[in-house]
Amino acid sequence: MGKDYKATLNLPSTDFPMRANLSDREQDQIMRWERDDIYGKMIARRKDEGAQRYILHDGPPYANGNIHHGHILNKTLKDFVIKYRNLAGYLAEYVPGWDCHGLPIEHKVDQNLGEKKRDMSKVEVRQACREYADKWVNIQAEEFQRMMIFGAWERPYTTMSYDYEATIVRELGKFFDKGIVYRGLKPVHWDWAAKTALAEAEVEYDEFRTEHVYVKFPFSQLPDELAEKAGDKDVYVLIWTTTPWTLPANLAIALNPDLNYQLVGHGDEVYVMAEGRRATVLEECDIAEDDVETLANFEGRELVGELGEGKGLAADHAWLERESVLLPADYVTLDQGTGCVHTAPGHGQEDFQLGQHFGLDVICPVDQEAKFYIDLPVQADDGEKNMKGVHVLTANKYIAQHLANMGRLLNKAGDRITIPRYPYGWRTKKPVIFRATTQWFIAMEPETAGNPDGLRLREEALDEIQKVNWVPGWGQDRIEGMVEGRPDWCISRQRSWGAPITVMYCNDCDEALATGELCNHVADLIEEEGADVWFDRSPADLLPEGMSCAECGGTEFTKEQDILDVWFDSGVSWSAVLENELGWGDLADLYLEGSDQHRGWFQSSLLACVGTRGHSPYKTCLTHGFVTDEDGHKYSKSSKNFEPPEKMLQEYGAEILRLWVAAVDYKGDITLSDEILKRIADGYRKIRNTFRFMLGNLGSFDASQAVDYDRLHDIDKWVLHRTAEVVERIQEAYENYQFHTIYHTLLQFMTVDLSNIYMDVTKDRMYCELPDGEARLAGQTAYWSVLHALVRATAPILSFTSEEVWQHLDHGEDDPESVFLADFPDVPAEWKNDELAAKWETLLEVRQDVQRALEEKRVPRKQKKPGQIGSSQEAHVTVTAEGDTLELLRDYAEMLDALFIVSYADVVEGEVPEDQSVGVEVVPAEGEKCPRCWNYWIEPGSDKDVCDRCESVVEQLD
């Protein structure tokens, strides 16, 4: 029996586990990071160096419920940025934050308290909200840390901290002093289920099914020329609405002066409608075209005059005893309706603005629960009903029946329509209404606040948007459109849990005391006792000494009970956190949130900072999409095959979820499914196995044994060149937030360049040469250099695995205890060798042709016939080449057998087939198989046990 030469081989040896067991072992690593204070040391190191600060400001999630997949996406992207910036030499601290005020939390607390809330004071309710928010801050912090997110978890910011609440009030005071805050009666989004006003950012949109009505308003004031054409028939202005409940508040009908209108005769009646809407109106009202006639064509200005002027004509209300004035408006289009728009200034933004211009009253007969509070008798199908106390959405059908029974409805009572985009409360999930209420507003134009010389907030904000780097670029157009079209900012809320609007009202003249001086005084108290002080103390205890009413000199006041919009709270975080708490100034390098924040935090922060500091609070604003299921719907508990984050963490580990975040293009919506995670896990295994193989071949290597670059083999130099290219591409991708480029670049490099080429070609050298021989040390030097660079380049993404590799890698004297205390790889200039790379591009093309030829000859061992081969090492290859390729192959003749992984490789000059880089002939090698290296290098008939190379190595080992 021949000798067993296995013990003489340098087989890979490492205790780096093949199986990651991520869900278990990640938590041990997290504990080690915490125990050794790796994040703290990372930051302290850069502070000691005086590194340039990089500020990523965390947008605060709500402290309400466990984290979801969108949180994982968001926080992981931020973690990529923070870790990369620190590795790249910046001082990049991550201070996480939480939004702790507002309806989402108060709503949950209300549910928990139930009937007990009735017996509690406002301060007691607020305390319950504070405790609830604090609980979820702690829970979410643990969940984020489980995702291996580095940060100052021991000192996060919360919008309910006393210092933060004081800042909110001080920033409100600055707006008061700017003269652009006012109190007024205006229609706002009203969430009747929560009994509060909502900002645009607190509104979600979805389909809504509702009644729609074509209503006839009697019109007896036609100009003479048109009246003649109508004859003795009854004339009606025809309007259309999907909110019949707003008809009791109707005060006007809007027409566009520039549109073409008609008098359309139908039986004994004549309808005023836009020519461009006629066909749809007739169809939806089930009227045949043959049953109508056109009596007159005219422009809208015949009835309403020019924009901003009007003619004073009016129709009668559809059933109430008042007029409905006809007014000109350019927002009237041919997209829907009749071209004659029902206008209720108490129930719509455009209606309100038009009414304000023409001096109309604001009627809103609906209370905070969306119920009529006036007597409103209607003739329903089952008799007379009074709508007082009836919810408006219930009243719709009765009003439609009433109109039909009075002969004022042109379509059928009960006709319904689906509105594709209707506003819903973001937390109650109930359809909201527009309702005129008295609220506090920040004016986008100063004239609205009665201060024509004041700050033009809209204009200034639009100017600042131009200076920001928006990633992706379409974000700029999106937020510009939103700022251009947004109404004044409604900052008051009719709830308990939030920062107070620190305004008082004079008991003698009802004048509002709204000044920076009052706000600053109250803020000083809040810093000591929290915002509860406003609700707990008397007005006299809260007033600065000597303050009186500027209007009448009165000294007795009543406090405002409304709280501030939570978007104002989070919108001043740059001041509360960056400027005041941390002392970093009021300008962040990066805001990074979901694309819904163009109308949320991005916009509120922009307006709050521009309003008081004159500039945007961020240099770059990056947005990501939403997490969706395979059908493109929001990934939630209703999704098919839904798995909560904790189950995914248990099954796959945080590393796979992090890799999923890196693998997708976050700029659009991101699909998440079990199948996708399985593919990511498969890619991870390839990366991990490559790391493990490299570590295995470095088992005996000491970093001090590394050989000089000049002593490396050309293929070693080639892999260093490729590593340099990959590291540079990865760094460029980090700089441009192109994380999916990093994942795909890494996977391609490790599976193709390293595993399929370099490690395959060098396997013989690593296994069979002397352990400390120069050939093997050269390969180990390259292995170590590649690995040392890659783990640092990938650490921001593969945080667990890169740290694990780092702990198994032998280090030089300057290497720190953690990969996160190292520097991003700055590859030596000598690694970049374009001339060598060009040669290897040709050599690898030849290798592909040779591998194809080998594959054609390869068969399973038991089926092998003469002239065929099993493994490639059974082959003797002859390569035919010409020109530059021939010269190149001759230069590399001594290593071609290793490159092709064959026993013998010859090069001859000759003509090359057109579709190939070279000609290839494959025949079985004539020698005998060496039992140690498996190459057919033993001369036929020789009595040697092993080939000459292996014999020499074994002798030296002995």
DSSP-assigned letters across all residues of 232-285: TSEEEEEEEES-GGGGGG--EEEE-TTSEEEEEEETTEEEEEEGGGHHHHHHHT
pLDDT in tens, 144-197: 999 999 999 999 999 999 999 999 999 999 999 999 999 999 899 999 998 888
Name residues of the chain where pLDDT drops below 50: 1
The average confidence (pLDDT) of the chain is: 94
Tokens at 544, concatenated? 């600065």
pTM equals 0.88
The DSSP code sequence of 858-899 is B--GGG--TT-BSSGGGEEEEEEE-HHHHHHHHHTGGGHHHH
Please enumerate, by residue number, every residue annotated as part of a binding site for ATP.
Answer: 637
For the segment 850-907, what is each residue's pLDDT rounded down to a tens digit? Answer: 999 999 888 887 777 777 888 999 999 999 999 999 999 999 999 999 999 999 999 9
CATH topology of domain 22-168+577-663: Rossmann fold (3.40.50)
Q: Measure the CA–CA gap between 943 and 946, rounded to whole angstroms.
A: 9
Look up residue 351 and give its two tokens: 């209606």
- Phi, psi dihedrals of residue 102, rounded to the nearest 5°: 105, 180
Q: Coil, strand or helix: which one is 296? A: strand
Shared fold status for 22-168+577-663 and 178-201+434-569: yes
Parallel, antiparallel, or unpaired for β 340-343 and 157-158? unpaired
The CATH code for residues 858-926 is 3.30.2320.20
Count, residues in the chain: 958
Cite the annotated binding site for Zn(2+) by residue number.
930, 933, 947, 950
d(CA 474, CA 595): 11
Q: How many CA atoms lie within 13 A of 495 on its CB side?
A: 29
Most distant CA atoms of the chain, gap in Å? 126
Q: What pLDDT score was predicted for residue 745?
A: 97
Per-residue burial over 649-671, b if 16 or more Cβ lie within 10 Å, else e, is beebbbbbbbbbbbbbebbebbb
Contact assessment for residue 122 and residue 221, using Cβ atoms and an 8 Å cutoff = no
The pLDDT score that the predictor gives to residue 1 is 41
Distance CA 403, CA 380 (A): 9
Taking CB atoms within 8 Å and a gap of at least 24, the contacts of 931-934 are: 931/2, 931/5, 932/5, 932/8, 932/9, 932/768, 933/764, 933/767, 933/768, 934/871, 934/873
| The predicted structure's pLDDT at residue 199 | 80
**How remote is the C-alpha of 288 from its chain's centroid?**
51
Q: What one-character-per-residue DSSP string does 836-848 give?
A: HHHHHHHHHHHHH
Binding region for L-isoleucyl-5'-AMP:
593
Alpha-carbon distance of 517 to 502, in angstroms, equals 11
The DSSP code sequence of 434-478 is EEEEEEEEE-SSGGGGT-TTS--HHHHHHHHHTTSEEESTHHHHH
pLDDT of residue 263: 97
CATH architecture classification, 178-201+434-569: 3-Layer(aba) Sandwich (3.40)
Give me the residue spans of the domains in the chain: 6-12+695-832, 22-168+577-663, 178-201+434-569, 213-414, 858-926
> pLDDT value at position 712?
96
Per the listing, tokens 């931020």 go with 78
Annotated binding site: 593, 637, 930, 933, 947, 950
**Residues 6 or more apart whose Cβ sits within 8 Å of residue 326:** 237, 252, 253, 254, 255, 303, 304, 310, 311, 313, 314, 315
Task: Give the class (CATH, top level) of 213-414.
Answer: alpha beta
pLDDT of residue 2: 62
CATH number of the 6-12+695-832 domain: 1.10.730.20
Residue 175 to residue 183: CA distance in whole angstroms: 13
